[in-house]
């Protein structure tokens, strides 16, 4: 089921990548649009206490950020515009996007600060663990429960539920705090096992 959904998404994003490329957008430009969407999402989360519609807008920009994150990679792959700097920049901007969104949620009083900090730390370490492992030659894609796409989906669903149940996003952050740090543990175990098998 998940494999089929992933295949459909890859097919859909390839169409969007061709459209974006046809209007002259480069992977780095798309990455820049993505981080702007994340910043807008964070600002809206921060100010969402003023009106529930602001929370919906924050969710839309959060999803847009995730969309552009997938789109930049698709353009780079399809048109062979992948560069070492582009990959580095994309990874850095993704971490900034994660950080500002969580900060917006915490500053907006939508989650307990400690749980928000735990979710933020776990999210950054999920990506760091993958980067360090792959630098050592160990592939980490699909290892663990909470990669970036899953984190965005959980946040988006919790945010929308928060419109009718005001504790939903707080619980969503708790779920993310648990899942992200569990994913880090999974990756540590997987890396250790790979190292033993390779020795």
User: pLDDT for 132-191, tens place per residue?
Assistant: 988 888 888 778 888 888 999 999 999 999 999 989 999 999 999 999 999 999 999 999
Q: Of 63, 91, 110, which residue is a domain's last?
A: 110
Q: Of 110, 130, 157, which residue is a domain's last?
A: 110
Q: Where are the alpha helices (DSSP H) in 47-167?
A: 52-78, 84-107, 113-135, 148-161
Amino acid 1: pLDDT = 42
Q: Of 52, 79, 110, which residue is a domain's last?
A: 110
* Residue whose C-alpha is closest to residue 184's, from 172, 176, 196: 176
Tokens of 54: 């602001």
Looking at the structure, tell me whether residues 129 and 139 fall in a common domain.
Answer: yes
**Position 63 pLDDT exceeds 50:** yes
Amino acid 88: pLDDT = 86
**Position 93 pLDDT exceeds 70:** yes
C-alpha distances in angstroms, 42 versus 65, 77, 102, 122, 135? 11, 29, 7, 18, 31
Amino acid 31: pLDDT = 92
* Residue 8 banded pLDDT, cuts 50, 70, 90: confident
**Average pLDDT of span 92-118:** 95
Distance from the first to the final alpha carbon of the chain = 36
Looking at the structure, tell me whether residues 145 and 51 fall in a common domain.
Answer: no
Active site residue 69: no
Please identify which of the residues 69, 72, 90, 94 carries the catalytic annotation. Answer: 94
Q: State the CATH number of the domain containing residue 135.
A: 1.20.120.1760
């Amino acid at each position: 089921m998940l494999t089929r959904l992933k295949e459909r998404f890859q097919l859909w994003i390839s169409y969007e990548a061709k459209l974006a490329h046809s209007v002259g957008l480069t992977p780095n430009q798309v990455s820049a649009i993505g981080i702007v969407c994340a910043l807008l999402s964070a600002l809206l989360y921060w100010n969402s206490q003023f009106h529930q519609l602001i929370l919906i807008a924050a969710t839309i920009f959060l999803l847009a950020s995730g969309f552009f994150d997938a789109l930049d990679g698709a353009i780079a792959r399809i048109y062979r515009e992948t560069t070492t700097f582009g990959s580095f920049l994309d990874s850095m901007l993704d971490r900034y996007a994660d950080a500002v969104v969580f900060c917006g949620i915490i500053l907006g009083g939508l989650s307990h600060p400690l749980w928000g900090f735990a979710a933020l730390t776990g999210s950054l370490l999920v990506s760091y663990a993958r980067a360090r492992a792959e630098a050592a030659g160990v592939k980490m894609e699909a290892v663990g429960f909470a990669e970036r796409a899953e984190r965005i989906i959980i946040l988006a669903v919790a945010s929308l539920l928060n419109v009718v149940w005001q504790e939903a996003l707080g619980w969503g952050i708790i779920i993310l705090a648990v899942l992200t740090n569990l994913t880090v543990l999974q990756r540590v175990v997987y890396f250790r096992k790979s190292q033993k098998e390779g020795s």
